[in-house]
Amino acid sequence: MEKIFNILKDFVDNIANWLELIGFITTIITAVKVFVIDGKILDFKKKHLFQARSKEHIEELEKILSKISKYVSDFDNKKVELKNEIKKSEEIAKSIKKKLFKKDNSNTKALIKEAKRIEKLPDDIAKLSFFKKQYHKLLKSNEFNEEIVSDYYVKLSGLITSLTELRKDNAKSINV
């Protein structure tokens, strides 16, 4: 009788071990599926968020672009306004950056970096103190000028174009 009990006990132990292994494998498969589905949901949320807000952002950037174009014609009198518009575009770009995937962020990052660099540029190096002049010579930084604004204008225009195209692509992929 004891022998039958031991055989039965071993049989139940083996079945329990197999069922435990099957449960563990099922848990792993379920976890992987949940992470994949969760990733797809996050991707969809990002696309939808970009799609919902991008039109307004693009319109705001286009307004800033036209103001920059207008202010460049009277550059010497409009330096403050130009820097303000550049700062506005930087803030909008930061907002857009949060809604984009990393692969779509290169133009936005470049624009933000350029705007931060421009903010630090002096309006007139000749009016700076001796130490600040030396500092800017050491960094080989220019003063705020029309050429820098023109380069920024090109980058901003490129960002607007890429955002417009990305918006069209996202609209197609969301509707499909």
The pLDDT tens digits along the chain (176 residues) read 788 888 888 888 899 899 999 999 999 998 888 888 877 777 777 777 777 777 888 899 999 999 998 988 887 788 889 889 989 998 998 888 887 777 777 778 888 888 887 777 655 555 555 556 555 555 555 666 788 788 888 888 888 888 888 888 777 666 54
pTM of the entire structure? 0.64
Rounded CA gap, 159 and 29, in Å?
41
3-class state of residue 160 by DSSP? helix
Sequence-separated (6 or more) residues with CB below 8 Å from residue 173: 47
DSSP string, 93-128: HHHHHHHS-GGG-HHHHHHHHHHHHHHHS-S-GGGS
Tokens read off for 95: 């907002």
Tokens read off for 36: 């994949």
Tokens read off for 107: 């133009």
pLDDT at 44: 72
Rounded CA gap, 33 and 39, in Å?
10
C-beta neighbour count of 11 within 10 angstroms: 10
Tokens read off for 63: 């307004």
Rounded CA gap, 84 and 87, in Å?
5
pLDDT at 176: 46
pLDDT at 132: 60
Rounded CA gap, 107 and 103, in Å?
10
